[in-house]
């Protein structure tokens, strides 16, 4: 049990003894460390409900609180905050527990859940673009963190591989295909086919019917059209895999929209028969009468022309997931504009009897320097492949300037780690619901809250160990003893690693981990300036080397949970 959790249990016991609801026993790291290391506002919350003086209630709680083996005498501050300052001996004991633990003090959840995370979801026959960054990177980091805490995670890339665009792609494939271009740059050729047919339709109304007929043939299982479709999917996925490989992202499943196509018609008929859905002006809808939020916003699951919608596919997908994995939770990592869609789908699922915890993990947009949606000068979406390549190229320029002694291969490898890490971190450090301006200069800076700054902090620590080894100094792991305020501040940050991961997952906010790692690096730099490491001798040096090593381990592990690697040299 973490120190924070232990304090929460002790506070809960004190609340019970004082006749107060123990669910109020929430202990958090102190905002202002001048008053202590941890604090609880339980007295203030309880006082409001009981209409009592919060400071008097805090005193009553303290009379029942037993933490003398962990902390100095707790104090009451402000309107009724109870503050705890951890004993140095307790801190050292906790640190030494982390030191000897391969999990770096991260305690698995007591009741692991099965969580399905639906993210990335690019469309076939189109390039992945800047709009896919947030879903892809956010979904991957949440999966890594959930697994680290002991949950069973299933990552599913619900690709858009079925829809009206394939009528145009198939017609273009049959009449306009450049086989050589398809081999060299398949996605670009598929996009060209789509655009040329789309443009031709504007001048040839009869072509629209021809294209629609090609789509119908595909939907009916025509062998030729089905084969073209399969090739388009395979070529697209090959390019997607290249980008996922570059980003070090994998999926447990890749079940696209086409996988659920045969389930759509039976699903709609069943919802009609069960009176969950009803016909309205030729279409089929689920109405939410009596719901203030959705009263005027029914969920359309079949159009008047017989076509199905994203909501229909999402409901069929959810039923399949329920049957196959029996999940405790399903998280959909998509943009904030899809909020209404998921509210409708979730409300319909509830009527179907689904009790699984369904969450829309929404996020904001990436903006250009003009604070508008990030586009190329021609108004097109910025392709993800080109953006990642530019990140690596820009990082290579920086690496070559800072460390010309590295070989070309080493420089390129370090540049790949720094460039890709910078893109990921720049996204994850934001509160996921905010829009942010994409800035190369900021994300590749070695100053401030950036991936290069954190990676450089790790490299700096590793250089301490290389120097120690070169001087014949033992770097064996040793007991840690806290003797300086800078050591204490760093030690406290280290033992809060497990605590912050739990907080991240509660609201699906990796930016909290980013902030934690930035503060860890900042506290290490202050420790390094105040406390000589190699120049100190005996047990003090051994203790400080171990403290530095723990910091490096958590920087590496924490960045790894964000999908970011660290180089050994920069």
Pair (273, 357) in one structural domain: yes
β-strand pairing of 278-280 with 283-286? antiparallel
User: Under 8 Å CB-to-CB from 87, ≥6 apart: which residues?
Assistant: 70, 71, 72
Domain presence at residue 501: yes
Residue 436 sits in which domain range? Answer: 384-443
Pair (302, 355) in one structural domain: yes
Pair (260, 335) in one structural domain: yes
Task: Among 53, 86, 119, identify where a domain stops.
Answer: 86
Distances in whole angstroms, Cα of residue 4 to Cα of each of 38, 45, 91, 464, 555: 8, 19, 12, 31, 21
Closest CA to 304 of 278, 277, 283, 279: 283
Residue 468 has pLDDT above 80, yes or no: yes
- What's the rounded mean pLDDT across residues 91-100? 88
Tokens read off for 428 = 């994850």
Encode pLDDT of 193-250 as tens digits: 999 999 999 888 889 999 999 998 998 899 999 999 999 999 999 999 999 999 999 9
Domain presence at residue 239: yes
Contact of 516 with 524, CB cutoff 8 Å: no
CATH code at 15? Answer: 3.30.1360.70
Pair (475, 436) in one structural domain: no
Tokens read off for 488 = 């204490």
Return mean pLDDT, the chain: 94
CATH code at 502? Answer: 1.10.730.10
Pair (335, 264) in one structural domain: yes
Give the 3-state DSSP-derived string for 400-466, with helices as H, strands as E and coil as C: HHHCCCCCHHHHHHHHHHHHHHHHHHHHHCCCCCCCEECCHHHHCCCCCCCHHHHHHHHHHHHHHHH
Task: Among 247, 282, 312, identify where a domain stops.
Answer: 247
Distances in whole angstroms, Cα of residue 337 to Cα of each of 172, 363, 383, 434, 553: 32, 9, 21, 12, 38
Domain presence at residue 547: yes
Contact of 171 with 214, CB cutoff 8 Å: yes
Pair (406, 304) in one structural domain: no
CATH code at 311? Answer: 3.40.50.620
The count of domains in the chain is: 5
Domain presence at residue 405: yes
Q: Phi and psi dihedrals of 545, rounded to 5?
A: -65, -40
> What percentage of the chain exceeds 90 in pLDDT?
86
Would the CA dihedral through 545, 546, 552, 555 be positive or negative?
A: negative
Torsion of CA 100, 101, 106, 111, to 10 degrees: -130
Contact of 403 with 395, CB cutoff 8 Å: no
Task: Among 443, 471, 488, identify where a domain stops.
Answer: 443
Cα Rg of the chain (Å, integer): 28
Tokens read off for 248 = 């070090």
Domain presence at residue 425: yes
Residue 473 has pLDDT above 80, yes or no: yes
Domain presence at residue 456: yes
Pair (240, 333) in one structural domain: no
Domain presence at residue 115: no
Contact of 408 with 441, CB cutoff 8 Å: no
- Pairwise CA distance, residues 264 & 258, whole Å: 10
Domain presence at residue 549: yes
Encode pLDDT of 259-297 as tens digits: 999 999 999 999 999 999 999 999 999 999 999 999 999
Query: How many C-beta atoms surround the C-beta of residue 511 within 10 A?
Result: 19
For 155-169, 361-375, 508-522, which range has the lowest pLDDT when averaged over its residues? Answer: 361-375
Pair (494, 531) in one structural domain: yes
Q: What is the pLDDT of residue 163?
A: 84
Encode pLDDT of 349-387 as tens digits: 999 999 999 999 999 999 988 888 887 666 778 899 999
Q: What is the pLDDT of residue 34?
A: 84
In total, the chain counts a number of residues equal to 570
Buried-state track 342-377, b at ≥16 Cβ within 10 A, e below 16: bbbbbbbbeebebebebbbbbbbbbbeeeeeebeee
Pair (261, 357) in one structural domain: yes
Pair (263, 304) in one structural domain: yes
């Amino acid at each position: 049990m973490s120190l924070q959790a232990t304090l929460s249990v002790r506070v809960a016991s004190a609340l019970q003894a004082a006749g107060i609801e123990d669910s109020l026993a929430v202990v958090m790291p102190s905002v202002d460390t001048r008053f202590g290391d941890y604090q609880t506002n339980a007295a203030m919350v309880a006082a409001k409900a009981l209409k009592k003086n919060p400071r008097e209630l805090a005193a009553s709680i303290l009379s029942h609180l037993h933490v003398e083996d962990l902390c100095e005498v707790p104090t009451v501050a402000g309107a009724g905050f109870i503050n705890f300052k951890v004993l140095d001996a307790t801190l050292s004991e906790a640190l030494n527990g982390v030191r000897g633990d391969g999990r770096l003090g991260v305690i698995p959840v007591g009741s692991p859940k099965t969580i399905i995370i639906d993210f990335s979801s690019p469309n076939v026959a189109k390039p992945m673009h800047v709009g896919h960054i947030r879903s892809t990177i956010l979904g991957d980091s949440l999966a890594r963190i959930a697994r680290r805490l002991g949950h069973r995670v299933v990552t599913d890339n619900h690709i858009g591989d079925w829809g009206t665009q394939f009528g145009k792609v198939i017609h273009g494939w049959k009449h306009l295909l450049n086989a050589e271009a398809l081999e060299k740059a398949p996605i670009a050729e598929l996009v060209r086919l789509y655009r040329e047919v789309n443009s031709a339709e504007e001048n040839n109304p009869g072509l629209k019917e021809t294209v629609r007929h090609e789509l119908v043939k595909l939907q009916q299982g025509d062998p030729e059209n089905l084969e073209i479709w399969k090739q388009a999917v395979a070529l697209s996925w090959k390019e997607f895999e290249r980008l996922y490989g570059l980003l070090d992202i994998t999926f447990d499943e890749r079940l696209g929209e086409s996988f659920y196509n045969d389930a759509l018609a039976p699903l709609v008929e069943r919802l009609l028969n069960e009176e969950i859905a009803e016909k309205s002006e030729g279409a089929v809808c689920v109405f939410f009468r009596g719901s203030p939020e959705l009263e005027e916003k029914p969920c359309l699951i079949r159009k008047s022309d017989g076509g199905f919608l994203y909501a229909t596919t999402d409901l069929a997908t959810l039923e399949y997931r329920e049957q196959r994995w029996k999940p405790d939770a399903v998280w959909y990592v998509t943009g904030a504009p899809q909020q209404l869609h998921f509210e409708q789908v979730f409300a319909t699922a509830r009527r179907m009897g689904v009790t699984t915890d369904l969450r829309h993990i929404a996020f904001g947009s990436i903006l250009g320097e003009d604070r508008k949606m990030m586009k190329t000068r021609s108004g097109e979406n910025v392709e993800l492949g080109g953006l990642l390549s530019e990140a690596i190229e820009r990082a290579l320029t920086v690496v070559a300037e800072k460390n010309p002694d590295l070989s070309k291969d080493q420089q390129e490898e370090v540049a790949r780690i720094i460039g890709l890490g910078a893109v990921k971190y720049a996204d994850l450090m934001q509160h996921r619901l905010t829009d942010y301006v994409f800035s190369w200069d900021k994300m590749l800076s070695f100053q401030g809250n950036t991936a290069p700054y954190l990676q450089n902090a790790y490299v700096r620590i590793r250089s301490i160990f290389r120097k120690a080894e070169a001087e014949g100094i033992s770097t064996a792991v040793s007991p840690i003893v806290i003797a300086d305020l800078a050591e204490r501040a760093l030690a406290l940050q280290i033992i809060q690693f497990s605590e912050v991961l739990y907080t991240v997952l509660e609201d699906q906010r990796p930016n909290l981990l980013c902030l934690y790692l930035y503060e860890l690096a900042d506290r290490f730099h202050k420790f390094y300036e105040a406390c000589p490491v190699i120049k100190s001798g005996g047990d003090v040096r051994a203790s400080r080397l171990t403290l530095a090593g723990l910091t490096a381990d958590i920087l590496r592990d924490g960045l790894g949970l964000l999908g970011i690697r660290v180089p050994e040299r920069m």
